[in-house]
């Protein structure tokens, strides 16, 4: 019996005003960081969600998790995180990026709060909340 590989679709949050903040953040990263993000996501993309784990992914509670990746930029190691959620509800192998951040603190309470706020907006009726777009790598 063959094991089915997961094929994930990644989405980005779209603000009620139409902004694609995570997409813009990603495009603004150094090329080496973009490559590391693609590698981390390529790895996760091959796994079912119950096998997503450290170091690339950590669940944070409140239906959000973070995808993490590290890269040397200008002789300095930097860690980046993308907060996200398994969304849209009921759609298998879908993950939506809610906010992208440089990891500057160990416990980024502000980033988590913003991710939770954006997830709540996604759960509102489409005319009142945020929407999603297919993420471009």
pLDDT tens digits, 64-116: 999 999 998 778 899 999 999 999 998 989 999 999 999 777 888 999 999 99
Instruction: Dump the DSSP string for 39-97.
Output: HHHHHHHTS-GGG--TTTEEEEETTEEEEEEEEEETTEEEEEEEEEE--STT-TTEEEE
* pLDDT score for 70: 94
pLDDT tens digits, 33-74: 999 999 999 999 999 999 999 999 999 999 999 999 999 877
């Amino acid at each position: 019996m063959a094991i089915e590989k997961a094929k994930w679709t990644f989405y980005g949050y779209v603000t009620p005003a139409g902004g694609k903040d995570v997409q813009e953040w990603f495009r603004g990263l150094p090329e080496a960081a973009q490559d590391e993000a693609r590698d981390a996501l390529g790895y996760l993309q091959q796994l079912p969600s119950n096998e997503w784990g450290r170091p690339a992914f950590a669940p944070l509670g409140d239906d959000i998790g973070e995808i993490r990746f590290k890269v040397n930029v200008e002789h300095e190691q930097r860690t980046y995180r993308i907060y996200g959620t398994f969304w849209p509800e009921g759609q298998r192998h879908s993950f939506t990026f809610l906010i992208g951040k440089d990891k500057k603190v160990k416990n980024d309470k502000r980033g988590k709060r913003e991710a939770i706020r954006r997830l709540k907006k996604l759960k509102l009726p489409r005319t009142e909340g945020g929407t999603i777009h297919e993420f471009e790598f």
